[in-house]
Structure 1
């Protein structure tokens, strides 16, 4: 696993280093990141035992590609857009959205998205995203940071006598394993392509 400290993440490799152009591109990337998260949330891939959305894939890959600061700005922007009532979450709709939706069963997972984005950004700062094992390890940590507050919130909301793990964990493990593998191949692959292009 790559543990050498490296202060650059993917987005910083393709953006200018200083000046107004950098700020404009950062703003554009945050807006594009919010749109990417909203679109990924609405993609449902048929799978057993439940259909899989691409939200966690988008959250974790974006965190790694953007780094902790821009990743955090993007995920918070996404949540603000959702809180304002826009239909940007996986199970939200024109009728069920905004803060009411966010305080429902999905609330803990939304908090987990913030924690996971930050964790993936910090891991990318350390170079974990440049190798398949490193990215896979970061994704495992990120997934845990999504599930822990998600399951805790379900327990608080519905009661610990309910089948919390059956509702909020076990049906999603197969899909998350596939998304983990995809991201673990994609992000290091982009680093390799970028290195070849610049080499």
Structure 2
């Protein structure tokens, strides 16, 4: 039986998911000068979404985000100048965007322990879980990139190596923040 409280709870979660899609869109638009390529905070927000909302709502949030972009809203990095909508998703970065949903899902699973913020204060363990959570983005992204531009091109040199330092920075920052605010429970 569906109760009024359950409807309100689900409405609240959908609203939070929508607010996180706005945060994702903003994080994709802000480019930070970094070496060797400029960096956005998008993967930081993807991982934070999974950690904060859990596997189910993290995946739903990223699915909403992908749907917003597919419908033509300029939520992805480089839109609208590099294209919008489905055409953008079928471009070289589409696989990474699809991978975001699976990274958020995996982060939600790895940090699903209800008492994580109280019980787990091991920085290295948190860091490694975040790195593992990020792997679906790069696996799906690299497979997609290779399919789009051809496997005879240097796929790792184009779609992975230039981003390693930035990802290390973002994962480190998120792990530090998670430990700094470990006594607070988000949701």
TM-score (ref. length: structure 1): 0.83
**Aligned partner of 1:86 among 73, 84, 88:** 73
Q: Which residue is equivalent to 1:98?
A: 85
Separation in structure 2 between the aligned mates of residue 188 and residue 21 of structure 1, nearest angstrom: 31
**Aligned partner of 1:73 among 60, 83, 98:** 60
Separation in structure 1 between the aligned mates of residue 9 and residue 178 of structure 2, nearest angstrom: 22
Mark the CA change 1:95 to 1:172 in structure 2 (over 3 Å): closer, same or farther: closer
Q: Which residue is equivalent to 2:110?
A: 123
Give the conservation status (yes or no) of the 8 Å contact 2:66–2:98: no
CA-CA distance at 1:20 after TM superposition: 4.5
Q: Which residue is equivalent to 2:25?
A: 38
**Does 1:167 pair with 2:158?**
yes
What secondary structure, in the 3-state scheme, does the structure 2 residue paired with 1:45 have? Answer: coil
Separation in structure 1 between the aligned mates of residue 155 and residue 102 of structure 2, nearest angstrom: 21
Separation in structure 2 between the aligned mates of residue 107 and residue 193 of structure 1, nearest angstrom: 35
Count of aligned residue pairs for this structure pair:
178
Give the conservation status (yes or no) of the 8 Å contact 1:135–1:183: no
TM-score (ref. length: structure 2): 0.88
**Aligned partner of 2:39 among 33, 37, 52:** 52
Q: Which residue is equivalent to 2:98?
A: 111
Structure 1: tracts of 5 or more residues without a match: 1-17
Separation in structure 2 between the aligned mates of residue 190 and residue 151 of structure 1, nearest angstrom: 34
Separation in structure 2 between the aligned mates of residue 154 and residue 194 of structure 1, nearest angstrom: 38
Give the conservation status (yes or no) of the 8 Å contact 1:128–1:134: no
What secondary structure, in the 3-state scheme, does the structure 2 residue paired with 1:73 have? Answer: helix
Structure 2: tracts of 5 or more residues without a match: none
Mark the CA change 1:155 to 1:94 in structure 2 (over 3 Å): closer, same or farther: closer
